[in-house]
């Protein structure tokens, strides 16, 4: 039997709180899970700083990756006898599902922004580079690693295969919504996935939903909407992200200005230079980042020390709502006043916008931007979901955006209460009520 | 502070009017690929490079009143037209993002159809491949568009004329 078709003697199972069990029978999948690159995902939290808000959110990208694999495995089982489905693509789908987040680093969102990186490019590099994952994929057949990389990069010719991993209703979202709801403890991320899997139909190059399953899909869309505002974009989590970004920004600035760190930040140097090798990238996990944050709490630089102390001890920034159209001049004034009272506004006065955390709301496919969810009507005609569902139409038409101004209120209170500090407070408190991060 | 928003406003200040979301997506991608420092992150989607970040930022700019969005109903889809407002111009004046002059490049792109920009953006997305590989990839990922050799040649010419850097030898036009 070829490696590609080799099966384990018995089905191996991983106990999973979301899907109950994750089943593995293919030798290739079993071997991929055992690679150092995949095991590294145990040391990267799925939700980054959300555990500052929801203390249960300690789950890792390892859990999520296994979950996506399991959902794709179940979808394929249901597709096996359906027209349009090519079962020769089965192993490719499973590998892509398992490996789709392989390039995520620690605190990806803030980290990538400051160091100008893209985890998706690293996913490609890990799959195609000199790694254990690549060796296994190439053992399946020469060129197989490129196929997996293409599916994950959405550039594979068979778009039906791509759509299982990445589309408006895909295994990736179906897993993280349920998993993140479970671990955060919120009640709004739940929907009937089993029902959705039963009404999915492969048609040409997309997966459509049998019209009788519309209500299950409505629930899934509502779940996406609510999880975004209640969990992913929670203002306290945003505050933690702001502090985190500023730590990375300060450390980079110090390195670029020949600051002498008490311990040379070896693991970060290639990131400061914005040229990490694959090996250096793989070495950096959350444990390493926390190690440096611990050390940097003892640094001589006041800003780096303070920001690390804030992050480690969850002493985050407060915030007020902010409208850049009406209040930009006040922010300019605040920037000047912060300088004058000795608080560096580059690190301590931060505007955070909803677009800083891109998250794909469901949008009907105007002008062919992206393929929307299609319902298959009894007469086999395809209809875009929001044209048939009042609930989805209402949500997808609502474009809610948001800007907040983050600042350390404790600093302002500790300063001698001069006219300038008074003016700062008047401007900030004039923006509306200060929200306390607790 | 809101510099990335201001950069987009600068684009609209130069363009006056942009018709179509797809066209906007591809124009920003092509300019970014040619060295204009727009920061929006792109991924490959079914119709080529697409940035959710750009979509969200546009929604913010519209909600803030800096960009005016007008919806036009076409036969089987809706088309959106974007223009900068006076408030958008005031905001841009306050922020003044540091950007090179890209107006001529952008105007060249503005004259093209969204179908052609989709092709050009897709070719640029695969710019690390050789010319032959890029063209094969375009046919693989966009079989329904059925792009002709003439269109591809014209796209290579456009890329060459707006790129900062010379293309690799295997992508030079003959």
DSSP state at residue A193 = H
Cβ of B85 under 8 Å from any chain A Cβ? no
- pLDDT band for position B167 (50/70/90)? very low
In a domain, B171, yes or no: no
Whether residue B173 is contained in a domain is answered as: no
Q: Which residues of B touch A360 (CB under 8 A)?
A: 52
Q: Are A257 and A209 in contact (CB under 8 A)?
A: no
- A222 occurs within a structural domain: no
pLDDT in tens, A353-403: 888 776 666 777 655 566 788 999 999 999 988 888 998 888 876 667 889
- Model pLDDT for residues A326-351, shown as the tens digit of each residue: 888 888 899 999 999 999 999 999 99
What's the confidence (pLDDT) of residue A366? 56
Closest chain A residue to the Cα of B74, Cα to Cα:
A367
Q: How many structural domains compose chain B?
A: 1
pLDDT at B165 over 80: no
Characterize A406-421 residue by residue with b for buried, 16 or more Cβ atoms within 10 angstroms of its Cβ, and e for exposed. bbbbebbeeeeeeebb
Tens of pLDDT, residue by residue over A265-309, are 999 999 999 999 999 999 999 999 999 999 999 999 999 999 999
Q: What is the mean pLDDT of residues A70-81?
A: 95
Residue B56 contacts A where some CB pair is shorter than 8 Å: yes
- Neighboring chain B residues of A353 at a CB cutoff of 8 Å: 2, 5, 57, 60
Inter-chain CB proximity A328 and B94 less than 8 Å: yes
Q: What is the phi/psi pair of residue A375, to 5°?
A: -95, 140
Residue indicated by tokens 């694959």: A278
Residue A324 contacts B, CB cutoff 8 Å: yes
Q: What is the pLDDT of residue B164?
A: 59
Any domain includes A334: no
Does residue A165 sit within a domain? yes
Q: Which of residues 25-54 of B touch A (CB under 8 A)?
A: 25, 41, 43-47, 50-53
For residue range A146-194, what is the model confidence (pLDDT) as tens digits? 999 999 999 999 999 999 998 888 999 999 999 999 999 999 888 999 9
Instruction: Tell me the chain B residues in contact with residue A358 when contact means C-beta distances shorter than 8 Å.
Output: 41, 51-53, 56
Q: pLDDT band at residue B169, thresholds of 50, 70 and 90?
A: very low
Beta strands in A325-378, from DSSP E residues, in sequence order: 350-353, 374-376
Span A100-109, pLDDT tens digits: 999 999 999 8
Q: What is the pLDDT of residue A204?
A: 86
- For residues B53 and B140, the answer to whether their CB atoms sit within 8 Å is no
Residue B79 touches partner A, C-beta closer than 8 Å: yes
pLDDT above 60 for B173: no
Whether the predicted model's global pTM rises above the 0.90 cut: yes
Which alpha helices (H) appear in A61-170, and where do they start and end? 61-79, 90-99, 108-115, 119-128, 132-140, 144-152, 159-165
What integer is the mean pLDDT of A301-324?
Answer: 96
The answer to whether residue B170 sits within a structural domain is no
Task: State the pLDDT confidence band at B132, using cuts at 50, 70 and 90.
Answer: very high
Q: How many CB pairs (< 8 A) connect A and B?
A: 98
Whole-angstrom Cα distance, residue A154 to residue A67?
20
Higher-pLDDT residue of A237, B171 = A237
Q: What is the ipTM of this complex?
A: 0.86
Gap from A205 CA to chain B (nearest CA, Å) = 10
- Is A103 within the bounds of a domain? yes
Burial class of residue A438 in the structure, from the number of CB atoms within 10 Å of its CB (0-12 exposed, 13-18 middle, 19+ buried): exposed
Query: pLDDT tens digits for A190-211?
Result: 899 999 999 999 998 889 999 9
- State which residue of chain B sits closest to A160, comparing Cα positions: B46
Task: Report the pLDDT averaged over residues A406-423.
Answer: 93
User: Would an 8 Å CB–CB cutoff place B3 in contact with chain A?
Assistant: no
Percent of chain A surpassing pLDDT 90? 79
pLDDT score recorded for residue A283:
95
Q: Which residues in chain B touch residue A118, judged by CB atoms under 8 angstroms apart? A: 41
Q: Of A154, A324, A369, which has the smallest distance from its Cβ to B2's Cβ?
A: A324
- Domain-embedded: residue A332: no
Output the pLDDT for position B166: 45
Residues in contact with A135: Cβ distance below 8 Å, sequence separation at least 6, in sequence order = none
Mean pLDDT score of chain A, rounded to an integer? 93
Tell me if B45 is assigned to some domain. yes
Is A297 part of any domain? no
Domain extent at residue B55: 3-165
The pLDDT, as a whole number, for residue B156 is 95
> Does B167 lie at the interface with A, CB-CB under 8 angstroms?
no
Cα separation of the two ends of chain B: 45
pLDDT of residue B15: 95
Give yes or no for B57 touching A (CB within 8 A): yes
Domain with A169, as residue range(s), is 3-191
User: Of A155, A358, A366, which is closest to B56 when you measure between CB atoms?
Assistant: A358
Dihedral angle sign, alpha carbons of residues A402, A405, A410, A412: negative
Q: Decide if pLDDT at A431 tops 70.
A: no
Q: Report the number of distinct structural domains present in chain A.
A: 1
Q: What is the CATH number of the domain that holds A45?
A: 1.10.3210.10
Output the DSSP codes for A235-283: HHHHHHHHHHHHHHHHHHHHHHTT---SS--HHHHHHHTT---HHHHHH
């Amino acid at each position: 039997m070829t490696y590609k078709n080799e099966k384990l003697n018995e089905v191996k199972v991983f106990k999973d709180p979301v899907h109950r069990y994750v089943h593995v029978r293919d030798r290739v999948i079993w071997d991929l899970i055992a690679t150092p690159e995949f095991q590294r995902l145990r040391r990267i939290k799925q939700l980054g700083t959300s555990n500052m808000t929801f203390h249960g959110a300690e789950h890792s990208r390892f859990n999520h990756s296994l979950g996506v694999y399991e959902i794709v495995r179940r979808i394929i089982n249901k597709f096996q006898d359906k027209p349009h489905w090519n079962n020769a693509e089965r192993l490719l789908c499973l590998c892509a599902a398992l490996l789709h987040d392989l390039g995520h680093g620690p605190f990806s969102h803030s980290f990538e922004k400051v160091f100008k990186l893209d985890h998706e490019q690293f996913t490609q590099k890990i799959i195609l580079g000199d790694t254990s994952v690549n060796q296994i994929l190439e053992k399946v057949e020469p060129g197989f690693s490129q196929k997996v990389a293409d599916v994950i990069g959405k550039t594979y010719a068979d778009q039906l295969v791509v759509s299982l991993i990445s589309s408006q209703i895909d295994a990736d979202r179906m897993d993280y919504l349920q998993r993140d709801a479970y671990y955060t403890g919120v009640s709004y991320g739940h929907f009937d996935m089993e029902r959705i899997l039963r009404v999915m139909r492969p048609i040409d190059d997309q997966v459509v939903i049998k019209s009788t399953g519309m209500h299950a899909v409505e629930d899934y869309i509502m779940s996406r909407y609510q999880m975004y505002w209640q969990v992913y974009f929670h203002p306290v989590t945003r505050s933690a992200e702001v502090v985190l970004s500023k730590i990375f920004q300060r450390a980079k600035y110090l390195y670029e200005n020949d600051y002498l760190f008490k311990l040379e930040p070896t693991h970060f140097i290639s990131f400061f230079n914005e040229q990490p090798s694959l090996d250096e990238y793989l070495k950096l996990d959350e444990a390493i980042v926390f190690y440096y944050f611990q050390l940097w709490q003892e640094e001589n630089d006041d800003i780096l020390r303070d920001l690390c102390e804030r992050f480690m001890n969850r002493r985050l920034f407060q915030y007020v709502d902010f409208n850049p159209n009406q209040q930009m001049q006040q922010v300019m004034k605040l920037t000047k006043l912060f300088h004058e009272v000795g608080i560096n506004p580059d690190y301590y006065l931060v505007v955070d916008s909803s677009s800083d955390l891109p998250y794909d709301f469901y949008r009907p496919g105007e002008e062919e931007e992206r393929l929307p969810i299609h319902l298959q009507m009894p007469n086999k005609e395809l209809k875009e979901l929001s044209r048939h569902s009042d609930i989805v139409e209402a949500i997808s038409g609502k474009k809610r955006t948001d800007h907040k101004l983050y600042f350390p209120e404790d600093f302002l209170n500790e300063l001698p209460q001069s006219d300038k500090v008074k003016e700062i407070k008047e401007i900030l408190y004039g923006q509306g009520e200060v929200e306390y991060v607790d | 502070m809101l510099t990335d928003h201001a950069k987009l406003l600068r684009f609209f200040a130069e363009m006056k009017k942009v018709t179509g979301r797809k066209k906007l997506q591809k124009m920003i991608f092509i300019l970014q690929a040619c060295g204009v420092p727009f920061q929006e992150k792109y991924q490959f989607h079914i119709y080529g490079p697409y940035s959710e970040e750009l979509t969200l930022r546009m929604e913010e700019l519209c909600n803030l009143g800096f960009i005016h969005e007008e919806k036009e109903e076409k036969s089987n889809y809706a088309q959106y037209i974007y223009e900068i407002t006076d408030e958008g111009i005031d905001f841009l004046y306050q922020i003044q993002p540091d950007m090179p002059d890209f107006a001529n490049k952008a105007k060249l792109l503005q004259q093209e159809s969204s179908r052609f920009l989709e092709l050009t953006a897709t070719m640029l997305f695969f710019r690390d491949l050789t010319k032959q590989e890029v063209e094969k990839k375009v046919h693989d990922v966009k079989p329904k568009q059925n792009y002709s050799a003439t269109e591809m040649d014209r796209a290579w010419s456009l890329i060459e004329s707006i790129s900062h850097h010379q293309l690799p030898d295997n992508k030079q036009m003959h």
